[in-house]
Amino acid sequence: MLSARSLFQEIVDHDDSFQLFCSIAASGESQGGWENGRIAALVPEGMRHLAPKITRHGADEDKHGRIFRALLRNRGLPSVPVPPETDYTMLLERRGIGLAHEKLRREEPLTEEDIVVYLAHSRVTEQRAAEQMDMLVKYFGDHPEVGKAIRMISHDEDNHLAYCHEELLAMARAGHGRTIQRVLRDSALAEIRVYRDVSLAVTDHMGRLLGWPAPKAAALAAGIRGMYAYERFSGWHRMVGLRMPLRRDALGGLPAGTPGYA
């Protein structure tokens, strides 16, 4: 029987698939850390109060990258190159979602609208990240090898999502509501396509590493396409709503350390 638990267990139990999984995750998190660091440095003068929170967001993402690399080191495995078709962040940028790296490499201050775009894009991608980590905590939160890492990252992703909700609501009150609605919708519709494509690509690579028979690989691909059909029909709406989070000022304090994952 195919299930998220059994599939992830296969990936964790096999060195080659675990190596690819952690390498993809570490690369994406580190890229997110760089992006947030640049955004924090370029925040416009009228929004400088957000810079510490954006910096904290980036520090968390960097920490997650270190955690995944530490999981590899603990098995004596090096990182491997990330196949381009599995690079979620890069593929989103190619679709014009979020702030382009070319803009972030300049030394020109961002605009208020750029910060709105950053937060709206983050609200969508952090929704995905929080949901994925919730699932992994449910099935592997007590796993002796990866459980501690999963719980730590899940806590951070919940904080990131809460921060996006709270700051976007404040910006909506400041008059950015229409821009927020537009960017949220565009980001969500692009994200679900990219997530489908990346999921299919990762499944293909994992299937070859783990020797999955053709019927199993086909069933998994069909499941991914079925999920996309649901998300395209109505599921994407969960990514665009805004509500005041229970966790207020979630990124207002000092970032947590990474004991055991230096």
Instruction: For the chain, give the percent of residues with pLDDT over 70.
Output: 96
pLDDT tens digits for range 77-100:
999 999 999 999 999 999 988 899
Measured CA to CA, the distance from residue 13 to residue 262 in angstroms comes to: 23
Instruction: Calculate the average pLDDT of the chain.
Output: 94
Q: Which of 48-57, 83-92, 121-130, 245-254 has the lowest mean pLDDT?
A: 245-254
The residue type found at 202 is V
Q: Is pLDDT at 250 greater than 50 in this prediction?
A: yes
Measured CA to CA, the distance from residue 27 to residue 195 in angstroms comes to: 16
Tokens standing for 202? 């990762």
Q: Is pLDDT at 257 greater than 70 in this prediction?
A: no
Determine the pLDDT at residue 262.
Answer: 42
Measured CA to CA, the distance from residue 32 to residue 47 in angstroms comes to: 20
Domains and CATH numbers, the chain: 4-239 (1.20.1260.10)
